[in-house]
């Protein structure tokens, strides 16, 4: 078995003169996993996250990063903070330079990266968080959401192997929050291990592979989201409520309108199940295909060709590189976040859709659509587009 990304071993912690905020915490995070640390106010989430890069030191017990126990001398801490990026809940605590550029450049500058490479890292990180062109702005004149993005860019510029986010979507509007979650998905796909804290059960249910439930400084459970969020006793003990999608599913099952099954993973799954039990749906028609274009193949030709066949084609774009390519080609996409599930919903409504992305994200689209087809029994097709070819089917 591979070495875990992070291990907490019998970790306890008390702020000076206070009772224990963390009580004998033991769990580990798989390398490359995306985990949500979920719990009510005051549960100990922030305190636990601050252990991950040595900002706080346990009163007893240890934190192990990639197989090595954290040491608390200045040199070791510098090295740990390069490998473990941390975005704080309060961005004001993280931003201090006079310009956005200097703020994002601060980390790379401190580890001796050349000016040219720093320029590139800053530009790429700002583009990734949707703030290209903000370089000369003073961070303290930005909105709360923009500050959060600058803080994220500063962490991305260090290319950490582990990302720790304390309430990543707080102070972001819903679309901005969804874009940041998509960015986290992209980073996860590049192999980064992600641990975020939240009390947003909707977000944790739809996004995380694993959920760690914490209340009153203790871990109540660590497991797959559906197992944890379906457990009403656990939810009550953690002062949380069941995600809306699960709650609706349980109500429909209890009223015998729906067969008990694996809980729905997202809106496409739920919409499909409702369509199956509702007369008058369009289930008898075959779904529209989801076209898929790798930006490496060039975007203008295939889009023009597809638009002549489908004038009402919807275009979704996933990932930083693809967004940049589309911006350069002056093509405005219809969907920029939640792209795969939105595209599945369009396909089920028999509306033509094209997803533009690149690299490993191509496989992610195929895997998610295949997974949906398998669980729903509805055969959806993904048609990878090439310059003169729109017919290959998975
Ligand atoms: N600087 C501090 N000094 C003393 N006690 C603190 C300090 N920070 C947090 N605590 C206490 O530690 C406990 C855990 O707080 P923590 O901020 O880790 O919880 P949290 O789960 O992140 O909460 P929230 O969701 O409200 O941000 C709480 O009882 C809190 O009052």
The per-residue pLDDT for range 222-265, each reduced to its tens digit, is: 999 989 999 989 999 888 999 999 999 999 998 888 888 888 88
Domain coordinates of the chain in residue numbers? Answer: 6-244, 290-385
Cβ atoms within 10 Å of 281's Cβ, excluding its own: 14
pLDDT at 282: 60
Minimum-distance ligand 1 atom for the alpha carbon of 199: 25
Instruction: Tell how far the Cα of 306 is from the centroid of ligand 1, in angstroms.
Output: 54
Instruction: Tell how far the Cα of 69 is from the centroid of ligand 1, in angstroms.
Output: 24
Rounded to whole angstroms, the Cα distance separating 63 from 70 reads: 6
pLDDT at 319: 85
pLDDT at 391: 40
Alpha carbon distance, N-terminus to C-terminus of the chain: 32
Rounded to whole angstroms, the Cα distance separating 339 from 351 reads: 14
Instruction: Tell how far the Cα of 44 is from the centroid of ligand 1, in angstroms.
Output: 6
Q: Which CATH class is domain 6-244?
A: alpha beta
Minimum-distance ligand 1 atom for the alpha carbon of 47: 18
Please identify every stretch of the chain with a pLDDT value under 50, giving residue numbers as ranges: 389-394
Q: Name which residue sits closest to atom 27 of ligand 1, judged by CA.
A: 41
The residues lining ligand 1, judged by C-beta closer than 6 Å to any ligand atom, are 15, 18, 21, 39, 41-47, 199
Instruction: Tell how far the Cα of 29 is from the centroid of ligand 1, in angstroms.
Output: 22
- What count of Cα atoms within 13 Å lies in the side-chain half-sphere of residue 262? 10
pLDDT at 126: 92
DSSP H helices in the chain: 45-49, 74-83, 100-110, 115-128, 144-156, 174-189, 201-207, 225-229, 232-237, 244-254, 267-277, 300-309, 320-328, 339-348, 360-376
């Amino acid at each position: 078995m591979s070495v875990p990304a992070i291990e907490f071993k019998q970790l306890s912690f008390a702020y000076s003169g206070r009772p224990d905020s963390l009580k004998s915490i033991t769990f580990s995070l798989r390398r490359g996993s995306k985990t949500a640390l979920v719990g009510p106010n005051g549960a100990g989430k922030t305190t636990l996250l601050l252990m991950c890069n040595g900002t706080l030191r346990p009163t007893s017990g240890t934190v192990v990063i990639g197989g090595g126990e954290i040491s608390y001398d200045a040199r070791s801490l510098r090295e740990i903070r390069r490998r473990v990026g941390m975005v704080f809940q309060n961005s004001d605590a993280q931003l201090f330079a006079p310009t956005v550029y200097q703020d994002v450049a601060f980390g790379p500058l401190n580890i001796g990266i050349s000016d040219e490479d720093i320029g590139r890292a800053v530009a790429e990180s700002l583009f990734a968080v949707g703030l290209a062109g903000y370089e000369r702005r003073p961070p303290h004149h930005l909105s709360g959401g923009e500050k959060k993005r600058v803080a994220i860019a500063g962490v991305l510029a260090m290319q950490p192997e582990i990302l720790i986010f304390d309430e990543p979507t707080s102070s972001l509007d819903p679309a901005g929050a969804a874009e940041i979650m998509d960015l986290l998905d992209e980073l996860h796909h590049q192999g980064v291990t992600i641990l975020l804290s939240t009390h947003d059960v909707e977000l944790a249910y739809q996004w995380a592979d694993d959920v760690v439930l914490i209340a009153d400084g203790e871990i109540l459970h660590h497991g797959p989201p559906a197992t944890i969020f379906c457990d009403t006793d656990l939810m009550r003990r953690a002062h949380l409520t069941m995600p809306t999608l699960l709650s609706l599913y349980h109500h429909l099952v209890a009223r015998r309108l729906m067969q008990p099954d694996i809980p729905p993973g997202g809106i496409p799954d739920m919409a499909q199940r409702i369509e199956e039990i509702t007369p008058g749906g369009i289930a008898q028609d075959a779904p529209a295909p989801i076209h898929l274009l790798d930006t490496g193949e060039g975007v203008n030709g295939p889009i023009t060709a597809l638009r002549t066949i489908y004038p009402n084609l919807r275009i979704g774009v996933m990932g930083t590189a693809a967004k940049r390519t589309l911006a350069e080609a002056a093509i405005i996409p219809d969907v920029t976040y939640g792209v795969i599930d939105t595209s599945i919903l369009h396909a089920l409504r028999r509306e033509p859709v094209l997803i533009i992305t690149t690299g490993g994200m191509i496989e992610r689209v195929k895997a998610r659509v295949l997974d949906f087809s398998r669980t729903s029994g509805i055969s959806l097709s993904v048609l990878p587009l090439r310059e003169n070819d729109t017919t290959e089917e998975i």
